[in-house]
Chain A
Amino acid sequence: MKKFIEESPLGTVAVLLPLWIILYAMLQTIADGIISATGLPQGERLTEAVRFFVFEAPKVLLLLTLVVFAVGIVRTYFSPERTRKMLGGKSLFGGNILASMLGIVTPFCSCSAVPLFIGFVETGIPLGVTFSFLIAAPMINEVAVVLLFGLFGWETALLYVVTGLIIAITAGYIIGRLNVERFVEDWVYQIHANTAMLEETNPSLRDRIQSGYDAVKDIVGRVWPYLLAGIAVGAGIHGYVPENFMASLMGKSAWWSVPVAVLIGVPLYSNAAGIIPIVHALLEKGASLGTTLAFMMSVIGLSLPETIILRKVLKMPLIFIFVGVVAVGIIIVGYVFNFVF
């Protein structure tokens, strides 16, 4: 497989893509086949849970593979260096919008949050604009969007992306307006790096497609266990938890559910792959969309490890401002959706 990809990346796409389409079209048939092969009785709880799993798990894995591959290729057109260049000299509000959108497509790993932060600040990109990037990049990622699309439908996926963008833009803007420069660790301002060190490269189409495969190997290879575990728990809830069970806990009538969901979600560290299938099952059992969305965003967008990493460059007050502003933004979004839908 690896040999084929290296020798002819495009040829491999030409073979694998039709295979993907056939497999995807046959998902229901295959799932039904497996269910009847196991001889599980119709309409039983266990049967429903297993049916849910054998249909949803391969579906989401297939979707994830395709999208991660495509995003892997798209990302070769965006580098952190290029993004920094584009953000240079931008004003506060316009810069926040651009930074949030670039946060979605620029390759980013929270382990690189510190170098990126310093590199941005050093070239004079305003703090607020930098924060917009740092909020959008982890929150709106391809894994979250694929799962939302696969399990909830395109409307919810779009809703998540748009509200995520709004939070990243406004939170960054507010932080920018608070004049928090003094809460950045002093050593950050003392670094004078040679910013033109990395040689600009223009990858060939072959290299770009290879990057797509690499992304699949890296991301799908990393998240599939969480995904299967998440869908398994989701399947269990789907089959066994009674209807409306969540209504009193995470329903619209429980006004306190949104802030509580965010308070639980912020320190909770999970990736989108593990949490979304579970949240999906909760929604089915009577949790409201706003509360669900708020919980998801706080788990995925704000994570303890990333905050700890950022502590190297931010003093404590700014850490609290950062987490506080984003958390409040997420709570507002939660209430708005509970109110509207």
Chain B
Amino acid sequence: MKVRILGTGCSKCKALEQKIRLLDSTHHLNLDIEKVTDLREIMNYGILATPGLVIDGVVKSAGSVPNDEKLLTWLKGIQQ
């Protein structure tokens, strides 16, 4: 699964990336995680606030760090 974290370096962006990497390793999800820092590329997803979370091309959240429960349903849900 492709997971893209959109953010230019705000504290919430770092928090989201850390959270996803942690979930990835503790739940053995084998995610393809990439942080997107280029503004133009970020803007192509049409988000209005960072961090943005894109899973398999779909924007799941913007401007917030969703809780583990929510993240896991997204990260596991599509895998099934």
A210 within 8 A of B: yes
B22 within 8 A of A: no
A286 CB contacts on chain B under 8 angstroms: none
A155 within 8 A of B: no
A187 CB contacts on chain B under 8 angstroms: 40
* Contact mask for chain B residues 58-71; partner A; CB cutoff 8 A; 1 contact, 0 none: 11111110010000
**CB-nearest residue of chain A to B44:** A193
Min CB gap A197→B, angstroms = 4
For A112, give its contact among B44, B49, B60 (CB under 8 Å): B49
B49 CB contacts on chain A under 8 angstroms: 80, 107-109, 112, 115-116
**CB-nearest residue of chain A to B45:** A197
A108 CB contacts on chain B under 8 angstroms: 49
Binding site for B on A (CB under 8 A): 79-81, 84, 107-109, 111-112, 114-116, 118-120, 187, 191, 193-199, 210, 312
- A81-B48, A115-B43 given; name 4 further pairs at CB < 8 Å: A111-B8, A197-B45, A198-B62, A199-B60
**CB-nearest residue of chain B to A107:** B63
Residue contact A111 to B10, C-beta cutoff 8 Å:
yes
Given contacts A112-B63, A312-B39, contact A193 B46 (CB under 8 A): yes
B33 within 8 A of A: no
A80 CB contacts on chain B under 8 angstroms: 48-49, 62-63
Min CB gap A325→B, angstroms = 24
Min CB gap B59→A, angstroms = 4
Residue contact A118 to B8, C-beta cutoff 8 Å:
no
For B50, give its contact among A115, A120, A312 (CB under 8 Å): A115
Instruction: State the CA gap A80–B52 with chains docked (Å).
Output: 13
Residue contact A198 to B67, C-beta cutoff 8 Å:
no
**CB-nearest residue of chain A to B10:** A111
Residue contact B40 to A191, C-beta cutoff 8 Å:
yes
B12 CB contacts on chain A under 8 angstroms: 109, 111
Residue contact B59 to A199, C-beta cutoff 8 Å:
yes
B40 CB contacts on chain A under 8 angstroms: 187, 191
Binding site for A on B (CB under 8 A): 8-12, 39-40, 42-50, 58-64, 67
Instruction: State the CA gap A195–B47 with chains docked (Å).
Output: 8
For B58, give its contact among A79, A111, A199 (CB under 8 Å): A199
- Indicate the member of A115, A118, A193, A198 with the most B CB atoms within 10 Å: A115
Instruction: State the CA gap A108–B12 with chains docked (Å).
Output: 12
- 8 pairs across A/B with beta carbons < 8 Å? A80-B62, A107-B49, A112-B49, A112-B63, A116-B49, A119-B48, A187-B40, A193-B45
Residue contact B50 to A197, C-beta cutoff 8 Å:
no
B45 CB contacts on chain A under 8 angstroms: 193-194, 197
User: Which 7 A/B pairs are nearest by Cβ-Cβ distance?
Assistant: A193-B46, A111-B10, A80-B48, A112-B49, A197-B59, A119-B48, A197-B46
B67 CB contacts on chain A under 8 angstroms: 210
B43 CB contacts on chain A under 8 angstroms: 115, 118-119, 191, 193
Given contacts A109-B10, A109-B12, A210-B67, contact A191 B48 (CB under 8 A): no
Min CB gap A120→B, angstroms = 8
A109 CB contacts on chain B under 8 angstroms: 10, 12, 49, 63
Given contacts A111-B8, A111-B10, contact A119 B46 (CB under 8 A): yes
B9 CB contacts on chain A under 8 angstroms: 111
